[in-house]
Structure 1
Amino acid sequence: MNIDQAIKIVKEKLPVKRFNHSLRVAETAVKLAEIYDGDKDKAELAGVLHDYSKYDDLGSMYQVVTQHDLDSNLLSYGSEILHGPVAAVIMKDKYGINDDEVLLAIKNHTTGRAQMTKTEKLVFIADYIEPGRQTPGVEEIRDLAYNQGSLDKTIYEISKRTVLYLINKDINVYDATIACLNYYNYSDERVKDD
């Protein structure tokens, strides 16, 4: 699938506000790819497609989880967590995308995970910092991503803020998000690479 085809299917499916968000995520992912020597084409494609299933019916998302043997823990969550893994399955099965980096970036753009590929990192961060986001503290994260030179530190800060937000709201935290937080925690002595 080329970028024009991706934009077309997303534009046809998503509300205008979410479509525009997807375009901004793609643009931001490309900017980050330029800074961190990532694959701009993969980052752009995954950025455009990442929210494809955002508004799918919850029942149909649960069916995708069970029919494709996805993590059964996903069945305990709503569309905020499900839409990434479901979109990745649809992109592979319906639209023939076979690039694992693109599929993983779509799948994990909300939760993150330990040992993400560079394309996953770029889309995960871009989704959080795209120019339309007004989350408290987002400017600090933008500065970290654009000026501090570390994808991994940026991922840790995003994961930490996400986990704290969810805990403060008494919302369950998906295990991949905890794994992401722990893996990218720089107080740990492991060596990390961008």
Structure 2
Amino acid sequence: MKHKAALKLVKDKLPEKRYEHSVRVAETAVKMAGIFEADKDKCYLAGILHDYSKYDDLGTMYQYVTKYNLDPALLAFNSELLHGPVAATIMRFEYGIEDESIYFAISSHTSGRPQMLLIEKIIYVADYIEPDRKQPGVDKIRDLVFEEKNLDLAIYEITRMTLKSLLKKNRPIYNRTIECYNYYNMVKE
């Protein structure tokens, strides 16, 4: 899929604010691709498409999990987690984007996972640090990426903060997020 087609696809589906977020994630991902020597076109495409299913009906997302044999544990979660794997599946099976790195980048951007591919890492982090993000600790993550150039430590810190937030809110935690935390806790140096 060409960038222009992806932009139109997302602009036609998402609210303006979410569309603008997706553009910022794509632009941040391209900037990061220059630092970490990743494919800029794939980073841009994954960044634009990462939130494609963000506002899809929960029942429809559950149907995708079942129809495409996605991890059945996903059925215990709401759209906040589900929209990544569902969007990746839609892009693969309905729009013909078969590139594994784009698929995993879209799929894992909400949960992370151990041993992420480079583009997957970039989208996971770019979604967290795009310029309009203001959450506590975001400047530290930006420094890890742009100053220290330590992508694995950035992933560890994002995942640690995510887990802390989920625990504080007494929310369920997807097993891959815990696996992501454990893995990047070991390799973050």
* TM-score of the aligned structures, taking structure 1 as reference length: 0.95
Retained in 1: the 8 A contact 2:25–2:123?
A: yes
Superposed, which structure 2 residues align to 1:91-170 within 5 Å? 91-170=91-170
Retained in 1: the 8 A contact 2:86–2:107?
A: yes
Name the counterpart of 2:177: 177
State the one-letter code of the partner of 2:34.
E
Post-superposition offset of 1:38 = 0.9
State the one-letter code of the partner of 2:131.
P
Name the SS for the 2:95 alignment partner.
coil
- Whether 1:45 and 2:45 are equivalent positions in the alignment is yes
* TM-score of the aligned structures, taking structure 2 as reference length: 0.98
Name the counterpart of 1:25: 25
Post-superposition offset of 1:93 = 1.1
- Whether 1:73 and 2:73 are equivalent positions in the alignment is yes
Name the counterpart of 2:87: 87
Over 3 Å counting, the alpha-carbon distance change for 1:44 and 1:127 in structure 2 is same
CA RMSD between the two structures: 1.0
Post-superposition offset of 1:192 = 6.5
Name the counterpart of 1:63: 63
CA offsets 1:144-170 (integer angstroms, 9 cap, x no match) = 111112110000000000000100110
Instruction: Name the one with the larger helix percent.
Output: 2
CA distance in 1, matches of 2:87, 2:126: 17
Retained in 1: the 8 A contact 2:156–2:188?
A: no
Over 3 Å counting, the alpha-carbon distance change for 1:168 and 1:192 in structure 2 is closer
Retained in 1: the 8 A contact 2:30–2:40?
A: yes
Post-superposition offset of 1:136 = 1.1
Identity within the alignment, %: 57
State the one-letter code of the partner of 2:97.
I
CA distance in 1, matches of 2:69, 2:94: 17
Runs of 4+ in 1 over 2 A off after TM superposition: none
Name the SS for the 1:94 alignment partner.
helix
CA distance in 2, matches of 1:57, 1:83: 10
CA distance in 2, matches of 1:40, 1:121: 13
Name the SS for the 1:91 alignment partner.
helix
CA distance in 1, matches of 2:154, 2:133: 16
State the one-letter code of the partner of 2:152.
D
Unaligned runs of 5+ in 1: none
